[in-house]
Amino acid sequence: MATGNGEFTFSGSTKGRNGLPKIHTEKKKQLEIDGHEKEICHDDSTPPVKAQTIDELHSLQKKKSAPTTPLTGAQGQFAAALSEEERQKQQLQSISASLASLTRETGPKVVKGDPARKAETPRVAAVSHQEHYFASTLNISDSGLKFTHILYNLSPAELYEQAIKYEKGSFITSSGALATLSGAKTGRSPRDKRVVKDETTADDLWWGKGSPNIEMDEHTFMVNRERAVDYLCSLEKVFVNDQFLNWDPEHRIKVRIVSARAYHSLFMHNMCIRPTPEELENFGTPDFTIYNAGQFPCNRYTHYMTSSTSIDLNLARREMVILGTQYAGEMKKGLFSVMHYLMPKRQILSFHSGCNVGKDGDVALFFGLSGTGKTTLSTDHNRYLIGDDEHCWSENGVSNIEGGCYAKCIDLSREKEPDIWNAIKFGTVLENIVFEEHIREVDYSDKSVTENTSAAYPIEYIPNAKIPCVGPHPKNVILLACDAFGVLPPVSKLDLAQTMYHFISGYTALVAGTEDGIKEPTATFSACFGAAFIMLHPTKYAAMLAEKMQKHGATGWLVNTGWSGGSYGLGSRIKLAYTRKIIDAIHSGELLKANYTKTEVFGLEIPTEIEGVPSEILDPINTWSDKKAYKDTLLKLGGLFKKNFEGFLNYKIGADNKLTEEILAAGPNF
């Protein structure tokens, strides 16, 4: 029976094989250009694709990127005609120079594009990417005879493809995030991080007891650099990211990250500031370069090496080398250390804190160690988020160093952290999490790989993020402590000397469990609330903080988010609702108008009342039934502060200036 258009019919009267009806086609006539009719058969009525081969069809699937922006400046219209070719050449020359062996004094032959693409679509690849390359002509070696393919500033979608195709342990989760594994190392390796000690850094940096800076010499750094560069150049392809640090355009730093994994490239794509196409074309030579050869170990026979892992900083060369660890956080925190060195040289304070701004432009800084509520309190839907971790304070105001957020994921839930939960979507990197094998739903409570599970995502994924991530000078500097001893007041107003003292101390108290089930508080001190990353002596950062606070009229506050009415096990945690009321009163300026009394030992000024907060909890002694136990515990904590501060007593700022008596007097007095 014929169909309406006469093309196909099923005939019940004519049986085919196995008794099934045969398919008949009705002939259709089409008038050709020469006037002759030809009988043809159509399977549909849509025009055929404009491709003769499957490779040509695949090439049509990907649209070319938008034209690059023209060069600006005095070169004018004549430069525009050559700009694309010249830019490609200069860009590849710069990358080859970054990968140069310093013994051979030459860089590898580099070519832009995925090596796999050439086999798939040779004609298209040859036209679009593969003709742009740069090759050295001197001191040819075996490694110089091959091309190293450069995957340059790939998009998240392209990096997903690379990770899933080539990196075992990479999967797309049900939310769209990319699940990855960091290998044997699931956290930072602080004892394997070293800094080159030379004529400059010997005087500038903080060395010795308490310092995070472990020295190495220039020669050892060059041995490790050569090892990393040789490894990267031996690969068929490497990932190169050119990005920025610091949202303040006047003080931003150009960074180049060379890595062997798509996971690392996507992580840094999220964590650093992403350049616009125009900024990328005029990027030029980077200010700092990371060589991440983390899949390859260092040589344990090399001087200073104590394991197969080494993270090395050379501040004179503006370079960082990573060997023997694939944990991506080493890159983020390594660059933070670099900023802690570079920014103070420009009279800019770099610091580890959260930062938000109210609708009236009032900026607040939140300093605090893990567990103090820094992330929770700095994330306020009534205020805009400037950043959650790393910032600078310059003559222009505050600015976020990073372009993304790095959040812990253990026991994450939509109810507790809705902003982080919703940010885990396409483009986000999930490190070392566990997921259900079929539907790919993440179990954030599962610690099978590690407890240190994390998510890295662009800051734009936070709904109330302020873009660009800059703000005016801070109005309030809030130091957070989770005091499990239960003797610090819920809030105290600090003078400048007290702010410096407690900033240098960087105190919180953790609750540690013992084998027999008894739990007791353990004091933890981390200078400047980020001792693992600072490069200079803590007093230098504290002095800069006080100077800027005094100049711009900022107020210091110490906020205890820990225990009240007794130490851990006897008292109870201060309610988050009360802490939020305290923070709201700080933001609004109401707390400045309150009446204050002074506490014993620490000499802290505490308000007598705050709206929405029970007045009896504002002075800790009122909440303890055993007053003697309170005083004993208070003296114990004061002693711990004094003991911790002994490491800073004899430090000299400059030639002969010791730590001032004013700061010492701001500490516990008994």
Residues in the chain: 670
Mean pLDDT along residues 628-656 = 86
The enclosing domain of 529 has a CATH number of 3.90.228.20
Domains identified in the chain, total number: 2
Predicted local confidence at residue 520, as pLDDT:
76
Count the alpha carbons within 13 Å of 656 in the hemisphere toward its beta carbon: 0
Per-residue pLDDT of 271-318, as tens digits, reads 999 999 999 988 999 999 999 999 999 998 888 898 999 999 999 999
Residues 488, 441 share a domain? no
Per-residue pLDDT of 120-164, as tens digits, reads 433 322 233 333 445 544 455 556 667 899 999 999 999 999 999
Per-residue pLDDT of 524-537, as tens digits, reads 999 999 999 999 99
Reading the block at residue 75, the tokens are 């070169």
Structure confidence at residue 68 as a pLDDT band (50, 70, 90): very low
Structure confidence at residue 76 as a pLDDT band (50, 70, 90): very low
Predicted local confidence at residue 56, as pLDDT:
72
Q: Is the distance from CB of 362 to CB of 342 less than 8 angstroms? A: no
Residues 315, 208 share a domain? yes
Q: Is the distance from CB of 321 to CB of 221 less than 8 angstroms? A: yes
Q: Is the distance from CB of 477 to CB of 545 less than 8 angstroms? A: yes
Q: Does the pLDDT at position 248 exceed 50? A: yes
Mean pLDDT along residues 178-191 = 95
Predicted local confidence at residue 85, as pLDDT:
81
Predicted local confidence at residue 480, as pLDDT:
98
Residues 487, 453 share a domain? no
Predicted local confidence at residue 294, as pLDDT:
95
The enclosing domain of 295 has a CATH number of 3.40.449.10
Mean pLDDT along residues 663-670 = 92
Indicate the average pLDDT of the chain: 86
* More confident position, 235 or 32: 235
* More confident position, 4 or 581: 581
Predicted local confidence at residue 19, as pLDDT:
63
With respect to residue 592, please indicate whether it lies within any of the assigned structural domains. yes
Residues 523, 423 share a domain? no
The DSSP output letter for 296 is S
* Alpha-carbon gap, residue 415 to 257, rounded angstroms: 36
Residues 579, 433 share a domain? no
Residues 453, 589 share a domain? no
* Alpha-carbon gap, residue 427 to 160, rounded angstroms: 8
Q: The pTM is what?
A: 0.85
Residues 449, 527 share a domain? no
Mean pLDDT along residues 614-625 = 97
With respect to residue 390, please indicate whether it lies within any of the assigned structural domains. no
Q: What is the dihedral of CA 132, 137, 139, 144, to 10 degrees?
A: 30
With respect to residue 420, please indicate whether it lies within any of the assigned structural domains. yes
With respect to residue 427, please indicate whether it lies within any of the assigned structural domains. yes
Domain that residue 222 falls in: 149-346+410-458
Residues 514, 648 share a domain? yes
Residues 428, 540 share a domain? no
231 alpha-carbon distance from chain centroid? 25
Residues 488, 452 share a domain? no
Q: Does the pLDDT at position 247 exceed 80? A: yes
Per-residue pLDDT of 249-275, as tens digits, reads 999 999 999 999 999 999 999 999 999
With respect to residue 386, please indicate whether it lies within any of the assigned structural domains. no
Q: Does the pLDDT at position 655 exceed 70? A: no
Residues 530, 434 share a domain? no
